[in-house]
């Protein structure tokens, strides 16, 4: 995380810098809602994988 922005009328936003699967460096703003959704999605994926084994 590079920086976090807070707004009076909106949820927090985060500027993230990360490397994609193909090796590209990306810098992008993400809303707190999007990050929480991604977290929940990843958690559900981990549960389904652990139940499959």
Residues with Cβ within 8 Å of 7's Cβ and at least 6 positions away in sequence, in order, are 13
Map out the domains of the chain as residue ranges.
3-52
pLDDT confidence band for 7 (50 / 70 / 90): confident
Q: Dump the DSSP string for 1-53.
A: --EEEEETTEEEEEEEEEE-TTS-EEEEEEEHHHHHHHHHHHHHHHHHHHHH-
Instruction: Report the length, in residues, of the chain.
Output: 53
Instruction: State residue 13's pLDDT score.
Output: 93
10-36 pLDDT per residue, tens: 889 999 999 999 999 999 999 999 999
């Amino acid at each position: 995380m590079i920086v976090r922005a807070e707004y009076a009328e909106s949820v927090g936003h985060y500027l993230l810098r990360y490397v994609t699967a193909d090796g590209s460096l990306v810098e992008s703003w993400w809303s707190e809602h999007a990050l929480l959704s991604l977290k929940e999605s990843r958690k559900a994926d981990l549960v389904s994988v652990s139940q499959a084994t």
